[in-house]
Structure 1
């Protein structure tokens, strides 16, 4: 094992915590079995982390998804890991969900007002005879 690989593996080991996902552990385990000096130099670059590598992979997968579904071979995923660590600067593009808010000048639709102003109706308690439910006290007579 080379000194570069030793340093890279030590750096990744520091990144692993109790909250690390199984997917990140799998990436880490795959890297441990590699002998690619360029990969290990990339891991040692400042700012490169396993978490960001995983985010990079998921963003690449989202680009390929069709109707929210995708099938990706392990070789493709691990080539993206190499791509992430080999590049000098990769910006991970995470989609941001925007919640539409109504404009202040527009009145709220009636449907929304009904939901906002909805008060639950009190439930009427059924008597024992109406519910047909027996209790343990019915057997004491």
Structure 2
């Protein structure tokens, strides 16, 4: 069985946002076992799995990424879409745009402290779309 749905995420400000519940609310029932692949259809945000309990992790991740890829560098050529656009593209390459999560007993088999993040790298990224493919 393979099933595919497109998930629409509400707009969020720049930052790392837990979206596990929002994704689960838009998925069909999961199979007994299988895989869930999530693919975000944008080049200025990303997906990752990280700590789902302490919000300080999300703030620290934002700070780390901003330090690794700063805005307004003189060597950027792609600048027409704003100061945050080229750094957003580079950050998206670092974080990646897809995840594969095992499904066990009709649930995502995440660790106790793991959650799915939308890594929003634009100041105003807008609505984001994720293709969810369930294989089971």
Query: Which range, TM-score by smaller chain?
Result: under 0.3
More helix by share: 1
Q: Which has the higher strand share?
A: 2
**Larger Rg over CA atoms:** 1
TM-score calculated relative to the size of structure 1: 0.24
TM-score of the aligned structures, taking structure 2 as reference length: 0.25
Higher relative contact order at CA 8 Å, sep ≥6: structure 1 or structure 2? Answer: 2
